[in-house]
Amino acid sequence: MNKSNNKSAHPIIATGAFTLLMPELQRAVSDSGYHTPTPIQEQVISHLLSGRDMIGCAQTGTGKTAAFTLPILQYLAKNPGKRVKGKTRVLVLAPTRELAAQIGDSVKKYGKYLKVSYTVIFGGVSQNHQVRALASGVEIIVATPGRLLDLMNQRHVHLDAIEVFVLDEADRMLDMGFIHDVKRIVAKLPKKRQTLFFSATMEPEVVKLSKTLVDNAVFVSVTPDQPTVERIEQKVFFVDKNNKDLLLAQLLEAKHLSRVLVFVQMKFVADRVVKRLLQLNINAIAIHGNKSQGARTGALDKFKQGEVRVLVATDIAARGIDVSLISHVINYDLPMVPETYVHRIGRTARAGTEGDAVSFCSAPERDSLRCIEKMIRMVIPVDRDHDFHSKAAEAAKGEASRPPPHKGRPSRNQSSSRKPAAKSKNFSGSWQRKPKTKDSRTQRHKVTTSQGNKVARPSGHQDSRSQRHQVARKKV
């Protein structure tokens, strides 16, 4: 819990919507180096201070976390309540551990002059510390759905006293498989509450679903249907898949690539890329879902502090990494979903700065690139001035421009309708099952062991107990 401190090291400078905040929050915002609200903050803060429900859409990196954190802190400070074991007044749901931790950091940073208690709850770590925090009572819980449901089922937390509910990254939460968890959590909330939905993108069906969970909500969109990427210099390199590692190493020879975030599609690819970079004496580390929470936090800390030059990540970290001064984002693999491209490159050009985004495109990714360019409404410039340029990848069309079909195990419906494979006439493998005949069945019978297991044995085989009995009779 943070205690209020009335001393200020410098004068408070606040403009726009920041002037609606109480002095303690203005001071905390000024301490963080912000004096002018971003567009999403300018439009959102006044509505939230008045208690309105909201659906807010803003590109990542525009300050939307502060847009809802600041009004919530002011509400709690002006309406103090008694802390109750296992209960909370504000619940913020986030899809990933990294994003939950980032929101928790914002609560700590902006609430440092207020007496507001909070805790962050996510999986991958022991729940003991989280349970202790809940037992003492907190006013704000920032959580991922899975761990929150676990603690609810264990009766460590109750949501019947929630006054403000925030669903951050609503499109990803609802569109990527969390909808059932969200509905289970929402069912436990009181009907009378303030509900806020924030996201980097809002597809029409997601907006429609979100509106069923809010009441008379204000809709705010800073960048409607078109992500803003003007501050990011983008390039695409056409390269064959087996040359991507060599191209990445060549690019990293340039010293101005000082803090680089590399995105890949698969977890094993992240580990493989890191291994090869380390072999070239390039300091790199991986972060993905198979890493423990401690390993992921440690990797992020090393990257933030500059101990590691290259962080290789899967999309689980696309919306949870808040690291300043990332010089370059490299898409080692292009994402399958165009919106994910915006989230990835949004890790650079934070807080009004400029950034660079580089994308590798092999032939099977050519269609993905076309979809990305269609969404951002621009043709990404091509850089052909490198040793691994692939004309085939650049010109790929039709089947060659799409990933090959997945060759996984067929589903039950598929397997039941498949025709049996033709038998090879020349095959004579020793394991091949011979057809059962009447004679072969009569040569076998089942006996039961003392453990009750049925074992098949030839009919001519006598039970050992019968043999012993016959020997005993002869002796008599």
DSSP string, 142-206: EE-HHHHHHHHHTTS-B-TT-SEEEEESHHHHHHTT-HHHHHHHHTTS-SSSEEEEEES---HHH
pLDDT in tens, 194-207: 999 887 766 776 77
Q: What is residue 319's predicted lDDT score, i.e. its pLDDT?
A: 58
Please indicate, yes or no, if residue 446 is contained in any of the structural domains: no
**What is the mean predicted confidence (pLDDT) over 433-451?**
45
Residues 28 and 177 both lie in one domain: yes
Residues 257 and 397 both lie in one domain: yes
Which of 401, 418, 446 is at the close of a domain?
A: 401
CA–CA dist 68, 53 (Å, integer): 11
CB atoms within 10 A of CB 365: 27
Q: How far is CA 352 from its chain centroid?
A: 24
Indicate the SS3 state at residue 41.
Answer: helix
Q: What is residue 461's predicted lDDT score, i.e. its pLDDT?
A: 45
Instruction: Provide the CATH number for the domain around residue 338.
Output: 3.40.50.300
Residue 86 pLDDT greater than 60, yes or no: yes
Domain with 116 in it:
16-221
Please report, rounded to a whole number, the percentage of residues in the chain having pLDDT higher than 90: 50
Residues 287 and 197 both lie in one domain: no
Residue 257 pLDDT greater than 50, yes or no: yes
Please indicate, yes or no, if residue 11 is contained in any of the structural domains: no
CB atoms within 10 A of CB 158: 16
Which among 168, 199, 163 is positioned nearest to 182, based on CA atoms? Answer: 168
Which of 361, 378, 401 is at the close of a domain?
A: 401
Burial of 179 (0-12, 13-18, 19+ CB in 10 A): middle
**What is the mean predicted confidence (pLDDT) over 356-380?**
94
pLDDT in tens, 126-155: 999 999 999 999 999 999 999 999 999 999
Query: Which residues have CB under 8 Å from 253's CB, separation 6+?
Result: none
Query: Which residues have CB under 8 Å from 254's CB, separation 6+?
Result: none
Taking a C-beta distance cutoff of 8 angstroms, is the pair 227, 376 a contact?
yes
Residues 196 and 289 both lie in one domain: no
Residues 54 and 163 both lie in one domain: yes
Q: What is residue 302's predicted lDDT score, i.e. its pLDDT?
A: 92
Q: What is residue 387's predicted lDDT score, i.e. its pLDDT?
A: 94
Please indicate, yes or no, if residue 374 is contained in any of the structural domains: yes
Q: Lowest mean pLDDT: which of 247-256, 284-293, 347-356?
A: 347-356
Q: Lowest mean pLDDT: which of 77-81, 178-182, 254-258?
A: 178-182
Residues 128 and 179 both lie in one domain: yes
Mean pLDDT of the chain: 81
Residue 5 pLDDT greater than 80, yes or no: no
Please indicate, yes or no, if residue 454 is contained in any of the structural domains: no
Taking a C-beta distance cutoff of 8 angstroms, is the pair 346, 263 a contact?
no
Which among 144, 125, 142, 133 is positioned nearest to 296, based on CA atoms? Answer: 125
Residue 328's DSSP bridge partners are 260, 356
* 228-237, 271-280, 309-318, range with greatest mean pLDDT: 271-280
Q: Lowest mean pLDDT: which of 47-56, 62-71, 288-297, 311-320?
A: 311-320
Please indicate, yes or no, if residue 129 is contained in any of the structural domains: yes
* Total number of residues shown for the chain: 476
Q: How far is CA 239 from its chain centroid?
A: 28
DSSP string, 290-343: TS-HHHHHHHHHHHHTTS-SEEEE-GGGTTT---TT--EEEESS--SSHHHHHH
CA–CA dist 205, 392 (Å, integer): 37
Which of 188, 221, 254 is at the close of a domain?
A: 221
Place of tokens 């009766």: 155
Higher pLDDT, 97 or 472: 97
Q: What is residue 64's predicted lDDT score, i.e. its pLDDT?
A: 86
CA angle 158, 163, 168 (to 5 degrees): 90
Cα torsion 213, 217, 218, 221 to 10°: value is 10
Indicate the SS3 state at residue 54.
Answer: strand
pLDDT in tens, 396-436: 999 999 888 755 444 434 433 334 444 434 433 333 444 44
Query: Which residues have CB under 8 Å from 118's CB, separation 6+?
Result: 104, 107, 108, 111, 138, 139, 140, 141, 142
pLDDT confidence bin for 324, thresholds 50/70/90:
confident
Alpha helices in 187-266, H assignment, sequence order:
204-211, 244-251
Residues 28 and 161 both lie in one domain: yes
Residues 257 and 300 both lie in one domain: yes
Residues 217 and 236 both lie in one domain: no
The widest CA-to-CA distance across the chain, in whole angstroms, is 114
Residues 264 and 137 both lie in one domain: no
Which among 263, 262, 259 is positioned nearest to 326, based on CA atoms? Answer: 259
Residue 57 pLDDT greater than 60, yes or no: yes
Please indicate, yes or no, if residue 248 is contained in any of the structural domains: yes
Indicate the SS3 state at residue 389.
Answer: strand
Please indicate, yes or no, if residue 424 is contained in any of the structural domains: no
Place of tokens 């819990």: 1
Taking a C-beta distance cutoff of 8 angstroms, is the pair 14, 26 a contact?
yes
Residue 323 pLDDT greater than 90, yes or no: no
Give the pair of three-digit tokens for residue 194.
Answer: 């303030």
Please indicate, yes or no, if residue 429 is contained in any of the structural domains: no
Q: Is the dihedral of CA 351, 356, 362, 365 positive or negative?
A: positive
pLDDT confidence bin for 304, thresholds 50/70/90:
confident
Residues 206 and 236 both lie in one domain: no
Residues 160 and 58 both lie in one domain: yes
Please report, rounded to a whole number, the percentage of residues in the chain having pLDDT higher than 70: 77
pLDDT confidence bin for 239, thresholds 50/70/90:
very high
Q: How many domains does the chain have?
A: 2
